[in-house]
Structure 1
Amino acid sequence: MSRHMYFHREIEHLKKMILELGTLAEDRLRRASSILDSADDKEAQVLMTSDWEVDDMEIQVEEECLKILALHQPVARDLRLIVSVIKINNELERIADIAVNIAKRVLTINKNKPASCTFSFDYRPMATKALEMVKAALDALVTEDASLARQIFLMDDEVDQERNRAYKLVVDEIGTSGEGAACMMNLYLIARHLERVGDRAKNIAEEVIYLVEGEIVRSTSDPH
């Protein structure tokens, strides 16, 4: 097999690996979203103990990238691909970490929620949008679609608006009753976790644009 063919095969293998990691991260986020509805302690514990699979895959992807860089010294678009995959690899691992943090937060709320804390927030629109962003980011990566990647920036605005709504509701509730403040803050922090998922999906979108167009894009960060 020629060196060029060997390099091409390694690149294709790397693409499959990053997509496999993306599938794992998306699965963890979907399960975390389900736990927000069910508040199931057992499911939360199961999700937390499965984090090692994502961590192992992240290490494998990084090692594969470094091997390709060392053996083939890619240039131009091939180099952009490797750089993008290294960064996307990190973002996907963090999305899975956030899913685990959501599960931990649910466990904390279930364990410590006082009877006086009757405040609730419907996370379904926010969780659904965050999942859509991650799926769109992975689709943009697979199809190398910079236009789709740019749409994710607009989707992120919707997630930020939901986060802001959760914050306002929590502040108003604490100001009105003052009871169960710790519980309400934990509920708000779930909204923060979901917002961070949106941020990670947006970062993946930026890397897709860099891969396709060679343009470094940094969208404006939310001030909160």
Structure 2
Amino acid sequence: MNTRLNFDTNLKQLKDMLIEMARKSENAIKESIYTLINQDIEKAKKVINDDTIIDELEHEINNKAIILIAKESPVAGDLRKIIVALKISSEVERIADNAVNIAKATLHIGLEKHIKEIVDIPKMMNLALEMLDDSLNAFLTEDIELARKCAEKDDKVDEMYGILIKELLGYLQKYPAQTNQITQLAFVCRYIERLADHSTNIAEHVIYLVTGQRYDLNA
């Protein structure tokens, strides 16, 4: 097989594995929020257990990238594509870790009655997941403008995070007996805020991929 064609085929496989990993992580986030809202203990345990699948995918991506670098000795733009894939896989793995942490928060709260209906947290999660979709599509299409738009939404997520944390801190005095639940919900808000940060990081990696320049979208 032509060397260039062989490299491109392997690079596409690497990208496909990365997108598969990202979609699994995205689904894990959705499932973890479902477990929180519905206090579904068994599903929460499944989210935690299934994280090993995502971890294994990350290992496969790392191994394939290392083999590609060793065998093909890519330079310039080609090497950058492999490095960016590795960086994005690391961000995606951390997103999956946040799903696990949300599921663990569900277990810590258990079946204790919620102090209020879980409505605002899913709204913040939906916006953070929009950011993740934007950043992944920007990666697939190498679209810098879409990458920048993804980062613009981060300010809104941060704003929602601030409002929710302030509200939850107010509940500490009002419901001292539910301190554990309030604390866990605050952690969940933090995990979603981190999801948005990881999506912004992916967008920054996309800009580096296309331009070769480091760019801080939070600046």
| TM-score normalized by the length of structure 2 | 0.93
- Residue in 2 aligned with 1:160? 158
Matches of residues 134-213 of structure 1 in structure 2 within 5 Å? 134-213=132-211
- Residue in 1 aligned with 2:49? 49
Deviation (angstroms), 1:120: 5.1
CA RMSD between the two structures:
1.7
SS at match of 1:216: coil
Partners of 2:151 and 2:218 within 8 A in 1: no
Partners of 1:119 and 1:173 within 8 A in 2: no
Mapped to 2, the partners of 1:120 and 1:173 lie a distance apart of: 14
- Residue in 2 aligned with 1:7? 7
Partners of 1:121 and 1:187 within 8 A in 2: no
Identity of aligned residues (%): 32
Bigger mean CA offset, 27-36 vs 11-20: 27-36
Mark the CA change 1:37 to 1:177 in structure 2 (over 3 Å): closer, same or farther.
closer
User: In the alignment, does 2:109 pair up with 1:125?
Assistant: no
- 1:125 partner amino acid: K
Aligned with residue 214 of structure 2, among 208, 213, 216 = 216
Deviation (angstroms), 1:212: 1.2
User: In the alignment, does 2:81 pair up with 1:84?
Assistant: no
User: In the alignment, does 2:19 pair up with 1:19?
Assistant: yes
* CA deviation string 1:70-129 (max 9, x = no partner): 111111111111110010010111111111110110111115x4x6x7355521210111
Partners of 2:144 and 2:206 within 8 A in 1: yes
Deviation (angstroms), 1:29: 1.4
* CA deviation string 1:153-187 (max 9, x = no partner): 11111111111111111222223453322221111
Deviation (angstroms), 1:33: 2.5
Deviation (angstroms), 1:43: 1.2
Mapped to 1, the partners of 2:16 and 2:62 lie a distance apart of: 13
Mark the CA change 1:145 to 1:107 in structure 2 (over 3 Å): closer, same or farther.
same
Mark the CA change 1:57 to 1:177 in structure 2 (over 3 Å): closer, same or farther.
closer
- 1:7 partner amino acid: F
- Residue in 2 aligned with 1:60? 60
SS at match of 1:180: helix
- Total equivalences in the alignment: 218
Structure 2: runs of 5+ lacking an equivalent: none
- Residue in 2 aligned with 1:103? 103
| TM-score normalized by the length of structure 1 | 0.91
Deviation (angstroms), 1:61: 0.3
Structure 1: runs of 5+ lacking an equivalent: none
Partners of 2:37 and 2:118 within 8 A in 1: no
Partners of 2:109 and 2:180 within 8 A in 1: no
Mapped to 2, the partners of 1:69 and 1:172 lie a distance apart of: 53
